[in-house]
């Protein structure tokens, strides 16, 4: 059984992955002052919550974009499972061509998403949208190579900025409004955040298609992340949603690098 981790800016996602797929997943807050012991205790509690035996874990893989958390989580995992984890980073085989200025600067999470996307698309150009703290669009060209990335503020980040920097605007729930034109303050904010994000995605897909010189209809569009459903359901372009794409990618990378 594979224990797969993705360490992000606001949360740490992990799950047990078998040959049949994801057995369970959990998300905990990414807390910069937690020690390895504290993370190990959380792991033990969550495994117990899911009724899952840690003894079944034979392999571990970790992807991280937060260096300050990485060492504590890796130490916790080693104590909890007694398994030395594989790390997504330079030196790991990915099966991907990366055509950007400095390939080593590509975030581990984006490498993982692209590896997962390969499982769902046959060939050709693709855009992988991940809607979390930030929204990222990882672009794969007609050869299936990663040719670049677009990064923009995520929906929740934009909402927090409005609340922090603007007087008299209420905190709202990020539920999609039925119409673009808001009739009250809450609906107006939701419209701006969610319809605005959808329009951004649609517009960026069109611009990406122009740069790749490929019709937008011929580009595979994949979406994942906490806000994927709420935003892409409002898009004019059709995104296929894969909530567990990160875990698919981690499993693919593990299989590619496993020692026989």
CA distances from 58 to 3, 78, 80, 92, 159 (A): 8, 12, 12, 19, 41
Q: What is the DSSP letter of 201?
A: H
Out of 53, 101, 109, 229, which one is annotated catalytic?
Answer: 109
The widest CA-to-CA distance across the chain, in whole angstroms, is 62
Mean pLDDT of 131-158: 93
Mean pLDDT of 154-172: 73
Q: Are 92 and 103 in contact (CB under 8 A)?
A: no
Structure confidence by residue, pLDDT tens digits, 187-242: 888 899 999 999 999 999 999 999 999 999 999 999 999 999 999 999 999 999 99
Pairing of strands 146-153, 220-224: unpaired
Q: pLDDT-derived band of residue 169, with 50, 70 and 90 as boundaries?
A: low
Catalytic, 213? Answer no
Provide CATH code, domain 2-90: 3.30.420.40
Q: Are 79 and 36 in contact (CB under 8 A)?
A: yes
- pLDDT computed for residue 108 by the predictor: 94
121-241: CATH, from 3.40.50.150, 3.30.420.40, 2.20.25.10, 3.30.70.2500:
3.30.420.40
Q: Are 112 and 250 in contact (CB under 8 A)?
A: yes
Q: What is the value of pTM for the model shown?
A: 0.90
Helix, strand, coil percent content, the chain, rounded in steps of 5: 40, 25, 35
Q: pLDDT-derived band of residue 17, with 50, 70 and 90 as boundaries?
A: very high
Range name among 22-26, 167-171, 185-189 with the lowest pLDDT average: 167-171
- Scored b (16 or more CB within 10 A) or e, 5-25 reads bbbbeebbbbbbbeeeebeeb
Mean pLDDT of 39-59: 92
Range name among 55-59, 84-88, 121-125 with the lowest pLDDT average: 121-125
How many helices (H) and strands (E) are present in the chain, helices listed first? 8, 10
Cα atoms in the 13 Å half-sphere on the side-chain side of 116: 26
Q: pLDDT-derived band of residue 260, with 50, 70 and 90 as boundaries?
A: very low
- pLDDT computed for residue 244 by the predictor: 93
Domain ranges across the chain: 2-90, 121-241
Name the strands in the sheet holding 11-18, side by side, starting at the edge strand that comes first in the sequence: 21-29, 11-18, 2-7, 59-64, 86-87
Q: Which two tokens stand for residue 181?
A: 């034109």
């Amino acid at each position: 059984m594979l224990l797969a981790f993705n360490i992000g800016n606001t949360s740490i996602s992990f799950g047990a992955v078998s040959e049949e797929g994801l057995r369970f997943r959990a998300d905990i807050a990414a807390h910069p002052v937690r020690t390895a012991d504290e993370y190990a205790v959380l792991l033990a509690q969550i495994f117990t919550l899911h009724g899952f035996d840690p003894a079944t874990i034979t392999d571990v893989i970790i992807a991280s974009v937060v260096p300050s958390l990485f060492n504590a989580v890796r130490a916790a995992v080693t104590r909890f499972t007694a398994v030395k984890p594989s790390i997504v980073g330079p030196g790991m085989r990915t099966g991907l061509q990366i055509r950007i200025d400095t390939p080593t600067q590509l975030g581990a999470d984006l490498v993982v998403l692209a590896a997962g996307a390969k499982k769902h698309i046959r060939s050709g150009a693709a855009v992988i949208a991940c809607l979390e703290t930030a929204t990222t669009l990882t672009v794969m060209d007609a050869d299936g190579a990663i040719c670049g990335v677009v990064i923009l503020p995520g929906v929740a980040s934009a909402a927090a900025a409005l609340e922090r920097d603007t007087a008299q605007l209420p905190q709202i729930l990020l539920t999609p409004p039925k119409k673009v034109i808001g009739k009250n303050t809450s609906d107006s904010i939701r419209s701006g955040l969610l319809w605005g994000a959808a329009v951004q995605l649609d517009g960026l897909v069109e611009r990406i298609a122009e740069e790749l010189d490929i019709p937008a209809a011929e580009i595979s569009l994949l979406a994942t992340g906490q806000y994927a459903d709420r935003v892409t359901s409002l898009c004019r372009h059709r995104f296929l949603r894969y909530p567990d794409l990160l875990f698919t990618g981690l499993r693919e990378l593990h299989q590619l690098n496993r020692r026989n």
